[in-house]
Amino acid sequence: MQAPKILPRIASKAGISEELALKLWRRAVSESECLSGKADGPEYWGLALDRFLAIVEEEAGSPAHYGLMSGPKVAWLWRQQSRMSLLSISAAQQAWQGAWGNPGGNQKAA
């Protein structure tokens, strides 16, 4: 399994080592698989990323790493981005279902 390419950036923002971030990523993936019952798919990867960010925040917020925080927490940004992408997918799905549900469009019967 490959770690996300953003992992070093998140590690530096949280003030933890890349090795620790990789261990936390593996833990998050394992927890995600247990919680979702899947090992692939958008829900699985979304849950894995959410778990990873939560675990990183817990680790960075611990007293041992408190002084190493180099910037603001990033989990809210990833969650917001995930919500926004789901909204666009939902809107496209509704438009598609509306188009197929009304095959005649706005045409009136003569």
Q: What is the pLDDT of residue 26?
A: 92
Confidence of residue 107 (pLDDT cuts 50, 70, 90): low
Most confident of 1-10, 48-57, 73-82: 48-57
Angle between helices 42-60 and 7-14 (to 10 degrees): 20
pLDDT: is 83 or 51 the higher one? Answer: 51
Radius of gyration of the chain (CA): 20
In what helix (H) or strand (E) does residue 98 lie, and over which residues does it extend? helix 75-101
Q: What average pLDDT does the segment 63-90 reach?
A: 60
pLDDT tens readout for residues 25-68: 999 888 888 887 877 877 888 888 888 888 888 887 754 443 44
Q: What is the pLDDT of residue 94?
A: 80
Q: What is the pLDDT of residue 106?
A: 56
Nearest alpha-carbon partner for 51 in 85, 10, 12: 10
- The pTM of the full predicted model, rounded to 2 decimals, is 0.55
Give the position of tokens 């809107």. Answer: 91
